[in-house]
Structure 1
């Protein structure tokens, strides 16, 4: 079978490409990218490159028609409307192609009551797919654990985790584990019979529990002293992302980012790496 990964030069897309290359021949993997030069290493590894513009339906049609399985990873647009418009073009291309399976990246912050600014998009995706005849699998991610690694020095300096989460918990998955599960689902038709998977570690963490893990792996005492949502938005507004990030933690404070499932084990045959194990290994590199 031929596999196409959209957004293949992003963090998840590139990780999926590498994981997929461990399961099938690189020549059977195509990468759809906005900037072909960024995919030079993937092409050098034997993968096929399709210049792909989400704004250009013809590029989607061309790439999808050459694939049996498409792994769709959304762009990093900061509004639900722009992502929904993008997804509609993806759905149109998928309906016109003779795909065996469309695998779509989702996120656990997709509840109807979630104030996260992108929850409308993530909630739209499964409902829109349900209206189509496209064979699909939706794979929802928990929060990525990976950003905690570069963030740790700041938390050590602050001596506190500052997420505005109150008593609620956060659920995590590592980028590598997520990518491995995407690749495994892509090459395993028997896993396509389940429409939705949610990738998480085996437990979620309250902020004091998260602070304890970070203290353990760093060797520094880290507590929990939350800032307000408005303070958090102002502190982390690089790239105008502050309001979006704050809205995500507003949903988290309502308990909407605490989902834990056994789906990763169902896919991979073993549990996802625990947060302490992931952080210890990442910090040792």
Structure 2
């Protein structure tokens, strides 16, 4: 049996659909904090609240493998540790969605991932770590608003991004969950090609016929733009820091591991822009 935590979220739903292509639905469990939000997935649903360990123990009972999709809250390292403990107690192997170069990057966004990886490795649980690069979908709002604003804003300079769509990362997770030979592996997953935010602006211009430029801002100014767009100020600071680390090459590697796991090319950002703005 395979248990997917965070199953009602964007990535979790895609993983469930990919798993259903590979194994019978009866062998899949969708674990979610709010079970009714996962009721349409066509598999067994169990409650799994990262802040209530007793639900985690019940959620993973009988599992051979558990996919721990990283949480979003500030205390997520503690939450991830609780899921790790539950998986170990169940005798299940654990697959974790982490961040690129989590053990070496200075990006603040990766700190909780680094702590989680260290906890997983020290716990003795059988593990596979999937270090997912940026999702194409991260830029959905930038892409859809750029034609009206006339600009894509950021603080990444000419740093390159090897993104891929969530669906590609979901397929990779399903491959690992249903395959063999992945125990103890740490996979750096990314798209096949890289692009800059200036390239993104050019793609938007090409699709819409409107002039869109890339406006590179100082970190603090960009954080202010993000906060003005509705992000909580602390998270805006973290995301501005992401761009600074992109400028230093954090998301630029293209090892080809994602393509190998899913046995197909990854979706280029230009295709995503066209699909979104069509």
Say yes or no: TM over 0.5: yes
Q: Which consecutive unaligned segments of at least 5 residues does structure 2 have? A: none
Tell me which residue corresponds to 1:207.
197
Q: CA deviation at 1:4?
A: 0.5
1:16-75 per-residue CA deviation (whole Å, 9 max, x = no partner) reads 111111211212111111111211212xx2x11111111111211122222111111122
Tell me which residue corresponds to 1:13.
12
Of residues 92, 100, 112, the one that matches 2:85 is 92
1:175–1:74: structure 2 CA closer, same or farther, 3 Å change rule? same
Tell me which residue corresponds to 1:73.
69
Tell me which residue corresponds to 2:259.
265
Residue 105 of structure 2 is aligned to residue 103 of structure 1: no
1:56-99 per-residue CA deviation (whole Å, 9 max, x = no partner) reads 1121112222211111112211x3xx111112212211221111
- d(CA) in 2 for partners of 1:39, 1:256: 34
- d(CA) in 1 for partners of 2:144, 2:55: 42
Q: Indicate conservation of the 8 Å contact 1:149/1:283, yes or no.
A: no
Tell me which residue corresponds to 1:40.
39
1:170-227 per-residue CA deviation (whole Å, 9 max, x = no partner) reads 221101111111112111113x146112221112112322322232333333222212
1:251–1:89: structure 2 CA closer, same or farther, 3 Å change rule? same
TM-score (norm 1): 0.89
- d(CA) in 2 for partners of 1:218, 1:177: 26
- d(CA) in 2 for partners of 1:149, 1:75: 20
Give the secondary structure class of the aligned counterpart of 1:247.
Answer: helix
Of residues 188, 196, 200, the one that matches 2:186 is 196
Query: How many residue pairs were aligned?
Result: 274
Of residues 158, 164, 167, the one that matches 2:155 is 164
Q: CA deviation at 1:11?
A: 0.9
Q: Indicate conservation of the 8 Å contact 1:107/1:142, yes or no.
A: yes
Q: Indicate conservation of the 8 Å contact 1:169/1:205, yes or no.
A: yes
TM-score (norm 2): 0.91
Q: Which consecutive unaligned segments of at least 5 residues does structure 1 have? A: none
Give the secondary structure class of the aligned counterpart of 2:162.
Answer: strand
Of residues 203, 218, 223, the one that matches 2:208 is 218
Q: Indicate conservation of the 8 Å contact 2:161/2:252, yes or no.
A: yes
Counterparts of 1:52-71 in structure 2 under 5 Å? Answer: 52-71=48-67
C-alpha RMSD of matched pairs (Å): 1.9
Q: CA deviation at 1:281?
A: 3.0
Counterparts of 1:103-182 in structure 2 under 5 Å? Answer: 103-108=95-100, 110-116=102-108, 118-182=109-173
1:258–1:142: structure 2 CA closer, same or farther, 3 Å change rule? same
Q: CA deviation at 1:115?
A: 3.5
- d(CA) in 2 for partners of 1:261, 1:218: 32
Q: Indicate conservation of the 8 Å contact 1:108/1:140, yes or no.
A: yes
- d(CA) in 2 for partners of 1:20, 1:282: 26
1:185–1:219: structure 2 CA closer, same or farther, 3 Å change rule? farther
- d(CA) in 2 for partners of 1:10, 1:259: 27
- Greater Cα shift, 30-39 or 239-248: 239-248
